[in-house]
């Protein structure tokens, strides 16, 4: 299992042709208290860079962009019902989507953990 990051503060953990996507702890911290999460439905397909959701906090609203091309196989509906969960464990149980990868070569364009840490310092 390998984890990658985007400059938009999203993470993607990949195993074979399946991946889990979420926002980073840094993003959750910057947003503050999350009050609303909007997610796309299962079966939706998207291209890298497409808007795939919205997270709103008491401070700001932030679009979520697809780090890679894929198809949603599962959306974390518990976040829609209880958006504050996103602040509790953004890089663990509070993932946004599970997807089937469309273009695994796109992973090469993402950041590794060291590069992401350097970005947020």
| Cβ-based neighbours of 97, under 8 Å, separated by 6 or more | 20, 21, 22, 39, 40, 52, 53, 72, 74, 75, 76
Q: What is the structure's pLDDT at 1?
A: 83
Tens digits of residue pLDDT in 73-105? 999 999 999 999 999 999 999 999 999 999 999
Answer yes or no: pTM beyond 0.85.
yes
Q: Considering its fold, how many domains does the chain have in total?
A: 1
Residue with tokens 């504050």: 84
Burial of 104 (0-12, 13-18, 19+ CB in 10 A): middle
Pick left, alpha or beta for residue 110 (phi over 0 → left; psi -120 to 50 → alpha; otherwise beta).
beta
CATH number for position 96: 2.40.50.100
Domain assignment of residue 27, given as a range: 2-120
């Amino acid at each position: 299992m390998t984890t990658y990051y985007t400059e938009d503060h999203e993470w993607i953990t990949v195993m074979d042709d399946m991946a889990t996507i979420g926002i980073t702890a840094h993003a959750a911290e910057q947003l503050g208290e999350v009050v609303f999460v909007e997610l796309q439905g299962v079966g939706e397909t998207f291209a890298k860079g497409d808007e795939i959701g919205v997270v709103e906090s008491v401070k700001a609203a932030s679009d979520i962009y697809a780090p890679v091309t894929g198809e949603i196989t599962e959306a974390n509906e518990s976040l829609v019902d209880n958006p504050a969960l996103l602040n509790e464990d953004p890089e663990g149980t509070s993932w946004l989507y599970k997807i089937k990868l469309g273009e695994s070569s796109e992973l090469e364009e993402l950041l590794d953990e060291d590069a992401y840490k350097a970005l947020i310092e």
